[in-house]
Structure 1
Amino acid sequence: MARRRKSSTADDLMDLVALLPWWGGVALAAVSYWVLHAVATRPLLAVKTGKQLSEALPSMLIQGLATGGQYLLPFICLLGALASFLRRRKRKALFDTASPASGADALQGMSWQEFEMLVGEGFKRRGYGVRETGGGGADGGVDLVLTRGGEKFLVQCKQWKAFKVGVSTVRELYGAIAAEGVAGGFVVTSGRFTGDAQAFAAGRNVQLLDGLALMQLLRDGRSQQATKSRAAEPGSSNKTAADAQPTPAANPKQPPPVAESAIDPKCPRCSKPMVRRVARKGATVGKDFWGCSAYSTGCRGTREISSGN
């Protein structure tokens, strides 16, 4: 099932505005009304001859369009702002429902649209800027664009309940990463990945998140939100020094640790994301390790992969 085809330019414009924060749509509505109203209320030129009429005709046409547009365009922007607001509430509701669950079964009852919203909200709670592209669908495409620390990442979501995600999907995203020149990407599924898909992603700047890894991402995002809420409570400044001493999981400047299979760790040398690689030589030949994504530019930072992964 692909996304529906838009029936008019107004639909396209409303969907474009809906990609912005709701207040952005409201601001566009106000600005568009102010500009078009100024054009629509300009005094008309006095026309006495045919030549003057031909010269004034373009201005009269623009003024006529502005007269109707001063109401139509702000209305479309307000509809887009409303859609953005409702989507934001929907994402929050999905996150609050799914994140406390104990397993990936909570993801199986969602539509692919809801799944994309949930994935975006999970990354947002982990400190990423999230932009919905509006160009994906049930059949593929890059669904989300993430930004963090000046770097960009692409996300492809697969809400497949009965199938494993194969290597072709991972290759598709890897090609998009190379074409866009971004730092890396994520393939997120409610199910699992085939062995070929995992083998292809190993050593490349593509992270695979299956249903269990996604649930871990959501739980960590919820934990971080709860930590910030407790820190903002009145009277929290009266805690003892021992209570106020931040731990690695509670420090608001440091996101709580996530399973290494769920989110890329940071390079100990340059703090850029790391990717899973396979040792080609030495005593650890054949073993997986974390290598810096900036290897091609000279960084040689590495980290061991814990035995739990």
Structure 2
Amino acid sequence: MARRRRQGAADDLVEGVGRLPWWMGVAVAVATYLLFHWLATRPVPALTDPTKIGNALVPMLVSQFSFWLQYVVPLLCLIGAAVSAVSSRRRSALAAKLTSSSTAQALEDMSRQEFESLVGQAFRLQGYEVREQGGPQADGGVDLVLHKGKETFPVQCKQWKAFKVGVDVVRELYGVMAADGAAGGFVVTSGSFTDDAIAFASGRNVRLVDGPKLFGLLQQAKAAREKRPRDLPAARHPPSPAMVDTARVPAAAAVPGCPKCGSPMVRRTATKGTNAGSQFWGCSKFPACRGTR
């Protein structure tokens, strides 16, 4: 399916502002109004010499166009800010609905667009800046682009209910990463991965996130936000999760010692079996030590 054609610069402006936080869109609207209002009200030099009409024509045109742009551009920015606010509320509601479920089965009941939106919200909760590619078909197999500092991470989402994600999908993303010079990448699915896909990603900076891991990630983010004292601000860039192996969360109590070797333990999330998505204490020296609590 081909991506729909955009109608013009107005759509691009609304879409671009819609990717920003809503309050930033409002700030852009105010700034553009002040800029164009200043250009529209600047004195235009009087035309006293017909041979120098060119010197007066440019300021006159700028003033006339700015008179209309001082209203049109801020209005489009406010529309983009409204789109951003509605999208943010929808993503938060979607994440809250999922985390209120006891299993990851709810992931399979979502539409493709809802699944991609949820994945983006999961990464936002981990401190990433998320840019949604948009359109029915993503560019180069990339649905989301993550930013943290100067590093970028492409993300490919696969909401496959009946099939496992194969190695071809992982190779495709790895090729995009190499071409764009990305620091890493993620393949996220509501299902699972084949053994070949897991083997190919092993040792490379490609992280594979299946349904139970995504569900556990959202549950951890929710728990961390609920445990955070209200008088303390949220961390600007929370630690990113090791999504292939484990995902750590802050502990409210003292860290226990391993019952086998005595080493400090870390909070982990079960990814297989009937306890998938549940948290437990695991030895920090795993896999050398398999002590759990």
The residue that corresponds to 1:134 in the other structure is 133
Which 5+ residue runs of structure 1 have no aligned equivalent?
Answer: 234-246, 263-301
Point out the more displaced range, 189-198 or 134-143: 134-143
Q: Distance in 1 between matches of 2:191 and 2:222?
A: 22
Which 5+ residue runs of structure 2 have no aligned equivalent?
Answer: 232-248, 254-265, 273-284
The residue that corresponds to 1:110 in the other structure is 110
Q: Deviations over 1:234-286 (max 9, x none)?
A: xxxxxxxxxxxxx95237xxxx8343869xxxxxxxxxxxxxxxxxxxxxxxx
The residue that corresponds to 1:236 in the other structure is none
The one of 249, 252, 275 equivalent to 2:251 is 249
AA paired with 1:129? Y
Q: Mark the CA change 1:137 to 1:98 in structure 2 (over 3 Å): closer, same or farther.
A: same
Q: Deviations over 1:104-161 (max 9, x none)?
A: 3211222222212211222222x32222242564556323333457654332212233
Point out the more displaced range, 194-203 or 147-156: 147-156
The residue that corresponds to 1:240 in the other structure is none
The residue that corresponds to 1:304 in the other structure is 287
Contact 1:220-1:258 at 8 Å conserved across structures: no
1:196 aligns with 2:196: yes
Q: Distance in 2 between matches of 1:305 and 1:178?
A: 33
Identity of aligned pairs, percent? 48
1:163 aligns with 2:132: no
Count how many residue pairs are aligned between Structure 1 and Structure 2. 250
Q: Mark the CA change 1:117 to 1:305 in structure 2 (over 3 Å): closer, same or farther.
A: farther
Q: Distance in 2 between matches of 1:84 and 1:18?
A: 5
1:11 aligns with 2:4: no
Point out the more displaced range, 9-18 or 177-186: 177-186
The residue that corresponds to 1:232 in the other structure is 230
SS class of match (1:222): helix
Contact 1:167-1:197 at 8 Å conserved across structures: yes
Q: Deviations over 1:32-64 (max 9, x none)?
A: 010100111112222244323232112211221
Q: Distance in 2 between matches of 1:65 and 1:50?
A: 23
Q: Mark the CA change 1:3 to 1:91 in structure 2 (over 3 Å): closer, same or farther.
A: farther
> Per-residue deviation at 1:179?
2.7
Q: Mark the CA change 1:172 to 1:112 in structure 2 (over 3 Å): closer, same or farther.
A: same
Contact 1:45-1:56 at 8 Å conserved across structures: yes
Q: Distance in 1 between matches of 2:185 and 2:85?
A: 27
Contact 1:135-1:141 at 8 Å conserved across structures: no
1:221 aligns with 2:204: no
* Superposition TM-score, scaled by structure 2 size: 0.75
The residue that corresponds to 2:58 in the other structure is 58
The residue that corresponds to 1:23 in the other structure is 23
AA paired with 1:90? R
Point out the more displaced range, 111-120 or 81-90: 111-120
The residue that corresponds to 1:174 in the other structure is 174
AA paired with 2:155? V
SS class of match (2:223): helix
Point out the more displaced range, 148-157 or 2-11: 148-157
Q: Mark the CA change 1:149 to 1:37 in structure 2 (over 3 Å): closer, same or farther.
A: closer
Q: Mark the CA change 1:195 to 1:136 in structure 2 (over 3 Å): closer, same or farther.
A: farther
SS class of match (1:101): coil
Contact 1:2-1:137 at 8 Å conserved across structures: yes
SS class of match (2:267): coil
SS class of match (1:257): strand
Contact 1:32-1:70 at 8 Å conserved across structures: yes
AA paired with 1:304? P
